[in-house]
Amino acid sequence: MPDIAPPSNIDASNDAVHFQFATAGQIRFGWGRLQEVEEIAPTLGSHALVVTGRSRERAGPLLDLLARQGIQVTRFSVTDEPTVHVARQGTRQARSAGCDFVIGFGGGSALDTAKAIAALLTNPGDPLDYLEVIGRGRPLQNPAAPILAIPTTAGTGSEVTRNAVLASPGHRVKVSLRSPLMLPRVALVDPALTLSVPPHITAFTGMDALTQVLEPLVSRRANPLTDGFCREGLPRAARSLRRAVEEGQDRRAREEMALVSLLGGLALANAGLGAVHGFAGPFGGMFHAPHGAVCAALLPHVMAVNVAALRARQPQSPALDRYGEIARLLTGQAEASPEAGIEWVLALQQALTIPPLSAYGLTPDHFPALMEKARRSSSMKGNPIQLSDEELRTILERAL
């Protein structure tokens, strides 16, 4: 197999670093920040489409704050992971109601839906005009309607990313609507909103957050700015994820995981991801499964296969050294090897009772289709080494 090309942020002739970085217009983080909606909302518009998740009741305090400022509200609920059809529905509702800005309040599904609707409100046509892989992939021409993104889980980092992941049941795949023009105007992260998240969801979303400060550090598109976010996030996840699951009212653990999620969003939006998300996106289109749980089932096996492939074909790759750094950040051991990091993640996976992928219906018969879709995914392009079919199959076999 040929070696991969140099990372896009490295000039092979002189090792000069070059990259670009984009994020939400403003980030507000901390306990009690939700109250600042009263200050923020009037600067964005007068009629909000409020996109919530399955539990509409949780948005009660948000709606009270908007009412105090005289903000008109139209509500739109997302009861499952968003689809192209849901984005169309939400856009029609927002347009007919005359909404001039969008608030996403919930987990990644609500935030991604909010971003997609905001983009489609100001850009003509259908989602398929702009979607990757299954659509025409046209760039957005106009900035999205103003977005206020308020996460209530600690996982996706969607409040600071430039894409919205939408499922297309007809194609059995999940793909992204992606543009810097759809970055939220304000990301408001209040760890208090995560205190009521149940343990299993805390585990799934937390493993997604961990993955998203790990994969960008070994991505082909890694850069010094995103490296800092990952290096800050990994030890926080190591000391707080399990505690947040087992002791849900531990404010320190909840705060740290909310920060890990934010750091992961900042990193992935600007450095990309890898094979975990390369598989997770297509898997979510083929099977009904929580995204974070899929990432959790895949993570240690992707790490192991990547490390073995790097040792065999690219032993001088900086990514191999970075897997050692990841191990040191996770274990706290100064001499930890990449394999120690893999063992640490495996132990965490077992402690959190992460289901195998077979729990969602995956069998070896599905491997060829899943591998083909994964190869075409944008996330797979960030993996530190191009993996063979045999290596991709090994990952799925171990995660099964």
Evaluate if residue 133 carries a pLDDT over 90: no
Task: For residue 285, tell me if it sits in a domain.
Answer: yes
The highest-confidence range among 12-16, 65-69, 129-133, by mean pLDDT, is 65-69
Query: Do both 139 and 227 map to the same domain?
Result: no
Average pLDDT value for residue range 159-173: 91
Q: Which two tokens stand for residue 72?
A: 């008109």
Q: Which of 132, 162, 193 is the last residue of a domain?
A: 193
Determine the residue type at 69. Q
Task: For residue 6, tell me if it sits in a domain.
Answer: no
Task: For residue 79, tell me if it sits in a domain.
Answer: yes
CA distances from 24 to 48, 148, 187, 316 (A): 18, 9, 6, 36
Supply the CATH number for residue 117's domain.
3.40.50.1970
What average pLDDT does the chain have? 94
Query: Do both 395 and 341 map to the same domain?
Result: yes
The C-alpha atoms of residue 142 and residue 206 are separated, in whole angstroms, by 34
Query: Do both 284 and 151 map to the same domain?
Result: no
Amino acid 7: pLDDT: 43
Task: For residue 15, tell me if it sits in a domain.
Answer: no
Query: Do both 272 and 165 map to the same domain?
Result: no
Query: Do both 249 and 171 map to the same domain?
Result: no
Supply the CATH number for residue 248's domain.
1.20.1090.10
Q: Report pLDDT digits (tens) over 172-182.
A: 888 889 999 99
Query: Do both 170 and 133 map to the same domain?
Result: yes
Determine the residue type at 168. S
Query: Do both 273 and 322 map to the same domain?
Result: yes
Query: Do both 162 and 235 map to the same domain?
Result: no
**Rounded-to-10 torsion of CA 396, 157, 114, 106:** 90
Average pLDDT value for residue range 357-377: 97
Task: For residue 186, tell me if it sits in a domain.
Answer: yes
Query: Do both 350 and 253 map to the same domain?
Result: yes
Q: Which of 165, 193, 221 is the last residue of a domain?
A: 193
The pTM score is: 0.94
Query: Do both 210 and 85 map to the same domain?
Result: no
Query: Do both 206 and 339 map to the same domain?
Result: yes
Closest-CA residue to 260 (of 244, 273, 275, 272): 244
Task: For residue 188, tell me if it sits in a domain.
Answer: yes
Q: Which of 193, 223, 254 is the last residue of a domain?
A: 193
Task: For residue 72, tell me if it sits in a domain.
Answer: yes
- As for how many domains the chain has, the answer is 2
Query: Do both 69 and 157 map to the same domain?
Result: yes
Q: Report pLDDT digits (tens) over 281-314.
A: 999 999 999 999 999 999 999 999 999 999 999 9
Based on its alpha-carbon atoms, the radius of gyration of the chain, rounded to whole angstroms, reads: 20
The residue written with tokens 């009660």 in the block is 60
Task: For residue 67, tell me if it sits in a domain.
Answer: yes
For 115, the domain range is 31-193
